Amino acid sequence: MSRTHQYDCLFLAPHLDDVTLSCALRLLKEQQAGKKILVATVFSHSISLLPGKDLYENRRLEDKNAAEILGMGKPIWLGFRDAPFRNWFYWSLQSIVLGNHKSDASLNDKILTKVMLLCQEYAIETIFLPLAIGTHVDHRHVHQLWCKLPSNTNIVFYEDRPYVFLPESLAIRMTDIQADSVKPDAVHLESDKHNSLRSFAEGLKEVSMYKNLLKNKRERFRYLLWAGRKLKMPLREARLTVEPEVIATTKLEDLEQIAKAISAYKSQMKMLYENLATFHLESRKYTHSLDPASIYAERYWKLVR
């Protein structure tokens, strides 16, 4: 295949809002540095109730609007179905974040094929993948591409927002995927496992997305049991080594542009943040933990080969 286009970065989103939610500042910074960027969403479709009328048609329009606000070209949609529309098994939060149906067995290879075609066509140098914090099955599928991509590919993981706002969620995920940070202090895991689980439990009641999605007490209890088991897991030999990088801004115009782009996802806003004020509150709290001098910050984890 001839390389008719040269791009520096490919950001892979599990869903139609994930890269904007998690990487908006990075998108702005990369463009300011003169880099050419592609954003591709893997699970961009649902089902068609009428011929040619996909239920996610409006969500894709929201995605296009958000990309324009951030100065990006039209996003790429790879056409895979969101988990609940692939299999009825995923019609509960517990199944989505803790399960993995056997019908997904060949899904990773199918995704890899399409991603490799993009990399070849656009001569991609660096790929941004989700860490899959929160363990949504679709995020896990996209994350797992890292071990199948060519060894000369630069891979950077981004922290999934707003999942990462839940205390201890990053540490749980890093333990789960056997990731070793070159700066261990960047991953917070309380030595007192009881207090760690308490922080996690309190976060389920405070972080907007979890308040909205875990209203069922039984599901919340099962999620707590799962977290408790993860927090007790012994350290295992590292499978991948990562190096953290925090990017931040003190410019109000950057924050306003990011907030406007996130607000473009009108169909998702209430579930994710309730409203824009809550977005600012939760983002500011997490930013303070990364860079107290900034008004907005994001953290990335570069795979060390």
Q: Quick check: 25 and 262 in contact, CB under 8 A?
A: no
Q: Which residues pair with 300 in a beta bridge?
A: 158, 245
pLDDT in the model for residue 144: 96
Average pLDDT of span 237-243 = 90
pLDDT in the model for residue 50: 67
Q: Homologous superfamily of 9-304 in CATH?
A: LmbE-like (3.40.50.10320)
Write out pLDDT tens, residues 39-62: 999 999 998 876 667 889 999 999
Write out pLDDT tens, residues 19-37: 999 999 999 999 999 999 9
Instruction: Report the alpha-carbon distance of residue 199 to residue 14 in Å, rounded.
Output: 27
Instruction: Report the alpha-carbon distance of residue 197 to residue 192 in Å, rounded.
Output: 9
Q: Is the peptide bond before 51 cis (omega within 30 degrees of 0)?
A: no
Write out pLDDT tens, residues 208-224: 999 998 888 888 888 99
pLDDT in the model for residue 181: 84
pTM of the model: 0.94
Least trusted range by pLDDT, from 8-17, 205-214, 235-244:
235-244
Neighbours of 114 (CB within 10 A): 15
Is the per-residue pLDDT at 185 higher than 90?
no
Write out pLDDT tens, residues 248-281: 999 999 999 999 999 999 999 999 999 999 999 9
pLDDT in the model for residue 275: 94
Instruction: Report the alpha-carbon distance of residue 143 to residue 9 in Å, rounded.
Output: 16
Write out pLDDT tens, residues 63-74: 999 999 999 989
Tokens of 65: 């609007």
SS3 76: strand
For 192-290, where are the alpha helices, taking DSSP H only?
193-206, 208-213, 217-231, 252-263, 266-273, 276-290
